[in-house]
Amino acid sequence: MHAFKYSLLAFVLMLVSTVSALEDPSNNLQESVSKVLDVLYEDTSMVKDAAEKESIILEKLAEHYDMNVIIRRCIGRNWQKIDEPNQPVVLSLIKRLVVRAYCDGMKGQHKPEIKFQDTVFVSDKRAEIETSILLGNKKIKLTYKLGKMRSGWQIFDLVIENISLVVTYRNQFDAFFLKNDSDALVKQLNELLLNEDLGQTLPI
Amino acid sequence: MKIWDKHCLSKSLFVGFLSVLSFSLLSAEAYYDDSVFYEDIVSEIEIQDPLELWNRCIFGINDVIYQYVIGPTNKVYSDITNESTRESLRNFVYNLKFPIRFLSNIAQLKAKEAFYESLKFTLNSTVGILGLNRPSDRFIHLAELEEESFDNALACWGVPEGPYFIIPLLGPSTLRDFPTRVIEPIINPFGDSGNIFDSASREWMVTFYLSEFLVLSSEMLPRYDLMKSASLDPYISLRTAYYQGR
C-alpha cells in the first residue's frame, strides 16, 4: 500500500514538474501588454511627458521581463567589443530606444485592440505568441518569441510583420563595430535619444 | 514486507528527487550562459550588397526627397482627408493591382490561390464598390491570402535574386525584383496604351501613378520615419527589413 502511495507521490511530482516546465507564458505577457497600453493611453494630464511615460513603461515591463535579455540578443557577440564601463550605459540607452520604438509603434488615435493567439511551444524552452494589433483599420501582426530562463519566460525577440527586431539590430551592430568603438556607440545612442523630434519630422 | 516498503520508499523518493531535479534543470539549465545572447541568427538572411557605396548615395537622396518633398505633400494629403478616406483609397489601389497578384499565382501554379484572388477581386469590386471597401476581409481564407508578386514567381522558378540595390524614389530592390517593377505597371489597367484603358492620356497615367504613390506612401512613410528614428544605421536597418519582409 505504502509502495503505491510513494509511487503515486513520485508520479505527481513528475507531473507537476512537466506542467511547470510548460507553463503558458501568455498570461504574464497579456498582463504586461495591458499595463503598457494603460500607461500609453491613460489621461495625459496625469503624466508629464513622453520620457516619464517611457520610465513607467520600463517599470511595468520589468515586473515580468528582463529587458537586458532581448538587448543582449540584439547586440550579440559585439558585447565583447563594448568596454566594461560602457556596458551598463549601452544597455540602459538601448532599453530606452527600444521602448520608445515600441511605444511609437503602438501609438494611434485610439487604444488598439490586441488579440492573442494560443501559445505555440517550439520546444520546452522556446515559445511563440502571435498577436494581432488593430490600430484603427490597420491590422499589424506582432509575434513575441520567448525563451525559458532561470528568471522565467523572457522575451527573446519581437517580430513585427515578419521583421525581427533582434535580426535588424544585430545587423546594425555588426556593421557599426566594423568601423567604430563602444565610445562612439554611446555617443550615437545619446544623440538618437536626444533627438526627440525625429519621430515627428513627418507628422502624418 | 517492511523491507519491500523501505525499498519502494527509497526508490520512489529517488524518482521524485530526479523529477524535481529535472524540473530545475529544465527551467534554470545552462540557459543563462552567453549562448542565448550569441545565437547565430543573422546568417538566416543572405544579403548581397556589392553596390553599397552607390546604394548609400541613392538612399541619402531618397531620404531628402521623402523628408522635404513627399513628407510635406503627405502632410497636406492627411490634412484634407480623414483616415477612412485614406483607407478607402488604399483599398482602391490594392484592388487595381489584382492582375499582378493573379498572374503571379498562376506563374507559381497556385490554382487555388489564383481562384481566391479572383473571388476577392470580384467581391471587393462589386459589394465593396469599385474596391473602395474590402468585404473580403470578413472571410478568413480571403483575408489571409498571401500577397504574391512577380518577384515571388521568379524566385519560385529559381531565378537568383542578384545584388541589392536602391531605386531612386522607389526604395529597396534586388536585381530580380527590379524588372518586376517594370513589368507590373504594364499589366496595371493604366499601364500602357494597348489595354482596356487605351484612351487614357499620358497626363491621366502620370496623375494616376502620382496618386498611387501618394496613397501608398502615406502608409509607408510613417513606418520609414519610425524605423529611422530608432536606428543606429537607417541604411542597414532598411536593408535588413527589406530582406526579412519579402
Contact A161 B245 (CB under 8 A): yes
The pLDDT value recorded for residue B201 is 62
Q: What is the mean pLDDT of chain B?
A: 78
- Which domain, by its residues, includes B119? 46-245
- CATH (domain of A116): 3.10.450.710
Average pLDDT of the residues in B80-90: 86
Rg (Cα) of chain B, in Å, rounded? 27
Chain B closest CA to A150's CA: distance in Å? Answer: 4
The pLDDT value recorded for residue B186 is 63
Query: Tens of pLDDT along B168-178?
Result: 888 888 888 88
Number of domains making up chain A: 1
| Within-domain flag for B100 | yes
Set of cell numbers at residue B123: 467581391
The pLDDT value recorded for residue A46 is 57
Q: Which residues of B touch A7 (CB under 8 A)?
A: 8, 12, 15
Q: Which of A130-134, B34-38, B151-155 has the lowest mean pLDDT?
A: B34-38
**Bigger pLDDT: B183 or B218?**
B218
Decide if A59 touches B, using CB distance below 8 A: no
State the Cα–Cα distance between residues B102 and B152, nearest whole angstrom.
Answer: 12
The closest of A147, A148, A165 to A156, measured between CA atoms, is: A147
Grid cell 528568471 is found at A151
Give the three-class secondary structure for B62: helix
Set of cell numbers at residue B145: 491570402
| pLDDT at residue B81 is higher than 60 | yes
- Which domain, by its residues, includes A25? 2-201
Chain B closest CA to A79's CA: distance in Å? Answer: 9
Closest chain A residue to B19, measured at CA: A14
In this structure, the number of other CB atoms found within 10 A of the CB of residue B170 comes to 11
ipTM for the complex?
A: 0.76
Give the three-class secondary structure for A113: strand
Number of domains making up chain B: 1
The pLDDT value recorded for residue A143 is 93
Set of cell numbers at residue B31: 540557459
Give percent of chain B with pLDDT exceeding 90. Answer: 15
Strand residues in chain B grouped as ranges (E) = 164-167, 171-174
- pLDDT means over runs of 10, chain A (204 residues): 58 51 81 86 64 82 87 89 90 85 69 89 90 81 90 89 88 90 90 63 31
Which of B2, B4, B20, B26 is the best mutation test for A, with the most CBs of A within 10 A? B26
Rg (Cα) of chain A, in Å, rounded? 20
